[in-house]
C-alpha cells in the first residue's frame, strides 16, 4: 500500500467507524464513515488516497488532494509554529513543511510553490519549498506538436518560469507569451528546446509554420470586425499583446500570412483590412 498516493483497494468489511479496504498483499486501511456512500458494497474496488492522520495512522480518503507525491503546487500556509509551517493541501490533516525544507521563512496566509515528498524512514509525507532540488534535468526529446502540461510559476525579466510535466524546469520567453498568465495556473504548451543544463524552452502555441494559419485566421477575424488596428511590426510587444492577445512574433507571422494573401494593407501607423 502506497502512502501519499492513490491506491485501488478492495472493500473488505464494514465496521462501526467505516470500511476497511485491502490490497493484494493483505494490507488494509480504514476508510472513515464520512467518505462512505450508499452505493459502496463488499468487493467493490475503490480508488482512494492513502496518508497518515494526526495520530500517525494510515487512513484512506475519497477526497482529492491539491498535490500528489513528487508533484508540485502552490499551497496556502495556514499556520506556523515551533515545528514548521502547515499548509492546506485539500485534506483534513494539514501538510507539514519542516523548517529545513523551507527556502525562506514562510508566512501565514501566503501561497508557496511546494513539492510533496515521502520520508521513507517514517513513512510520512511532508512538503518542501526547496523545489529546485526536486526538479529533474530533462534528457527527453519532444516533437514540435507534442503537448505538455505546464504549471505557471514566478515571473522573471526573461519571461515566465514553468514546471513541465510535473518534473522539469522551463521558461516561456516574454516574446512567446501570447495570453495572460497567473501563478499557479495549469495549462498546456509545447517544448521548443532542451538546453544543455536540462531545462526547457517552452511556448504556449505550436512553433513553426504549423501555428501561423491558426493565428492568421484569428487576426483576420479581428481585422474583419475592426477594419483597422493601430499596431504594426514596430509596436512594443506589450502594446501588441494588450490589443490582440498574442506575442509580437506570432503577430508578425500572422500579418505576413495575411499580407501574402492580399487581405490587409500595411500603413505607417497601423494595418487596414481590404477584404477577401
- Range among 64-73, 205-214, 244-253, 259-268 with highest mean pLDDT value: 64-73
The structure's pTM equals 0.73
Count H helices and E strands in the chain, helices first. Answer: 3, 18
In CATH terms, the fold of domain 209-273 is Arc Repressor Mutant, subunit A (1.10.10)
Q: Which three cell numbers stand for residue 58?
A: 494510515
Pick the CATH number of 72-133 from 3.90.1520.10, 3.30.2130.10, 2.40.50.140, 3.40.50.620: 2.40.50.140
Query: Superfamily assignment of 147-206 in CATH?
Result: Nucleic acid-binding proteins (2.40.50.140)
- The CATH number given to 5-61 is 2.40.50.330
For 222-261, the pLDDT digits (tens) are 999 999 999 998 999 989 988 888 888 889 888 988 988 8
Amino acid at each position: 500500500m502506497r502512502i501519499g498516493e492513490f491506491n485501488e483497494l478492495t472493500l473488505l468489511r464494514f465496521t462501526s467507524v467505516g470500511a476497511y479496504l485491502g490490497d493484494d498483499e493483505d494490507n488494509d486501511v480504514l476508510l472513515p464513515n464520512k467518505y462512505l456512500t450508499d452505493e459502496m458494497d463488499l468487493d467493490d474496488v475503490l480508488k482512494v488516497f492513502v496518508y497518515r492522520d494526526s495520530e500517525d495512522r494510515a487512513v484512506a480518503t475519497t477526497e482529492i488532494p491539491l498535490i500528489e507525491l513528487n508533484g508540485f503546487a502552490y499551497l496556502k500556509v495556514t499556520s506556523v509554529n515551533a515545528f514548521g509551517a502547515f499548509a492546506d493541501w485539500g485534506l483534513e490533516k494539514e501538510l507539514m513543511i519542516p523548517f529545513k525544507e523551507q527556502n525562506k521563512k514562510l508566512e501565514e496566509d501566503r501561497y508557496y510553490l511546494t513539492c510533496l515528498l515521502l520520508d521513507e524512514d517514517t513513512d510520512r509525507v511532508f512538503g518542501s519549498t526547496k523545489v529546485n532540488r526536486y526538479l529533474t534535468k530533462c534528457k527527453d526529446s519532444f516533437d514540435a506538436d507534442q503537448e505538455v502540461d505546464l504549471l505557471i510559476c514566478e515571473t522573471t525579466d526573461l519571461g515566465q518560469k514553468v514546471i513541465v510535466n510535473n518534473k522539469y524546469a522551463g521558461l516561456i520567453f516574454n516574446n512567446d507569451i501570447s495570453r495572460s498568465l497567473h501563478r499557479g495556473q495549469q495549462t498546456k504548451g509545447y517544448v521548443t528546446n532542451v538546453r544543455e543544463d536540462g531545462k526547457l524552452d517552452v511556448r504556449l502555441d505550436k512553433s513553426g509554420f504549423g501555428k501561423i494559419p491558426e493565428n492568421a485566421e484569428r487576426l483576420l477575424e479581428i481585422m474583419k470586425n475592426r477594419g483597422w488596428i493601430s499596431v504594426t511590426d514596430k509596436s512594443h510587444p506589450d502594446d501588441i499583446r494588450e490589443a490582440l492577445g498574442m506575442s509580437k512574433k506570432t503577430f508578425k507571422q500572422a500579418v505576413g500570412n495575411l499580407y501574402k494573401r492580399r487581405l490587409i494593407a500595411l500603413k505607417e501607423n497601423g494595418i487596414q483590412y481590404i477584404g477577401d
